[in-house]
Amino acid sequence: MKFPYFYQQMLGFLSVIIMLLTISVFSIVLFARNTAIKGTENMLFAYAESIVDVNLSSDQLSNFQSLLGNQGVTFFVFDNDGHLIFPDLPDNIETRVVPDEEDRLKSGERVSLTTEQADLYGNPRETAYVYLPYFNKSTSNYSGFVAVSAPVSQIERQMSELKRNLFNAFLISTVIAIIMSFVFARYQVKRVNRLRQAAHMVAEGDYDVRLKHRDRDEIDNLSQDFNKMIQALDMSRQEVARQEDRRKTFMQDAAHEMRTPLTTINGLLEGLEYDVIPESQRLRSIKLMRKETKRLIRLVNENLDYENIRSNRIMLNKHALPLTEIFEEIQEQMKSLAESSNNTLQLSVEEPITVFADYDRFKQILVNLIKNAIQFTNSGLITVTGIKTDQGTQIRIQDNGIGMTEDQLKNIWDRYYKADISRTNTKFGESGLGLSIVQQLVALHEASISVDSTPEKGTIFTIDFPDPDKN
């Protein structure tokens, strides 16, 4: 059964208030009754003490009887055997009263009780009784007791009046409670509805909605978390859109890069098939096809590499590698590529040092960074240096190329990002994955990489590889 949250809140508030009022009313009535009975008992004990203080003189007792009788109070004096000695009663009335607590009286204890049985005259009603023992002043022996009683009808009348007043107060409080419950419930439900409406707006695609909050309670905390969630969703949406744009750009670039070599290969194959290529040009055609094929393989491998690294499907086999030997290999490998752009490539190590890394992946990091430097440098100098630090080994790749702006630096690690779109179709085939792969490989080595660049002055990449005992 559907039960709106507003009514749940209102019923909850109202239930608590009515329960508190009910408990309070019963507690007040019970406390007032017990207090009234206790006050009556104290008054009756005071009368009993006054009776004992007059030494049970018949004249004085008669005066007390007249005085107390006007107040509805009766008293009786009994000897130590429980026989009535005052007042004188007709023979047809029972004159012997022996309370159940007679042993307590003999020990000097006061006794009080309230009963609904007949009083000493045989009249059935609720009556308060007190029994006060008295003793012989010379021998201190138990001599009897004084019984004083008074009906509690007056107390009942007072309690009835109190109950009526409390009932009226209860009704008024209930009406006020209903109104206050309505106000509080509406206030709370209004706050929840604000959250619901905001969530609906977000579901409709509005990510600019924000909820005001004052950090007062859990709903305010929920509103604050909701705002953070919307901000995160908005950033995620923007990132997805940005990645989608880059993916589309990459697909266009990849298609273009693939189409060019495939067109070249297809044309050469058709020429060979129809024997339109001279014999002297066939070897050159085959070499050209191999070059274009390598270009396609490189493009596919870069994507596979990135996905494998990002999915942690690559295991590193790290060793202490001699940096000088690796630099010599890379110098030989990249020399012709640098010279094709009129660049000078210099790799140097200050002293014979080692780097703790995976051989293949370490070379892949350096090759990607050097290719990146060559691509954005023309007729310049590219230097790669290795030095030993307190924590491990530091590699610096520096060029004096076109450099990058601060906005470009923020995005260079993103997949498919290209700092200079105009250089998409270089002979190196920039796919926008090289630096993303570098960052992932550096992280796998538990190393760190930083970049510092100035437009039109150049870029410096710095990588710090920790020693094994520093990990």
The confidence score (pLDDT) of residue 94 equals 53
Total-model pTM: 0.46
Q: What is the C-alpha separation between 437 and 365, in angstroms, rounded?
A: 8
What does the DSSP 8-state code read for residue 302? H
Q: How confident is the model at residue 125 (pLDDT cuts 50, 70, 90)?
A: low
pLDDT at 430 over 60: no
Lowest mean pLDDT among 109-123, 126-140, 264-278, 293-307: 109-123
70 is a domain residue: yes
d(CA 129, CA 101): 12
For residue 87, being part of any structural domain is answered with: yes
| Residue 244 shares a structural domain with residue 386 | no
The tally of domains found in the chain comes to 3
Of the residues 110, 128, 157, which one is the last residue of a structural domain?
Answer: 157
143 within domain boundaries: yes
Maximum mean pLDDT: which of 177-186, 223-232, 384-393 = 384-393
State whether 300 and 320 are in the same domain.
Answer: no
pLDDT tens for 61-110 read: 788 888 787 777 888 888 887 778 888 766 555 544 555 677 788 888 88
The answer to whether residue 171 is domain-embedded is: no
What's the CATH number where 400 sits? 3.30.565.10
Residue 100's domain comprises 5-157
> Of 257, 283, 306, which one is at a domain's C-terminal end?
306
pLDDT of residue 384: 95
Higher pLDDT, 380 or 23: 380
In terms of DSSP H, where are the helices of 145-217?
Answer: 153-203
- DSSP letter assigned to residue 104: H
Phi, psi angle pair for 267, to nearest 5°: -65, -45
Cα dihedral 118, 124, 126, 132 in deg (nearest 10) = -20
Tokens standing for residue 181: 């419950």
104-116 pLDDT, tens per residue? Answer: 888 888 888 877 7
Residues 255 and 325 in one domain: no
Question: Do 283 and 152 belong together in one domain?
Answer: no
**Of the candidates 110, 85, 112, the residue with the CA atom closest to the CA atom of residue 96:** 85
pLDDT at 256 > cutoff 80: no
Examine residue 50 and state whether it is found in any structural domain, yes or no.
Answer: yes
Among the candidates 134, 157, 180, a domain finishes at 157
pLDDT in tens, 353-377: 999 999 989 999 999 999 989 988 9
Which residues does residue 318 pair with via DSSP β-bridges, in sequence order?
358
Residues 336 and 248 in one domain: no
Are 144 and 85 in the same domain? yes
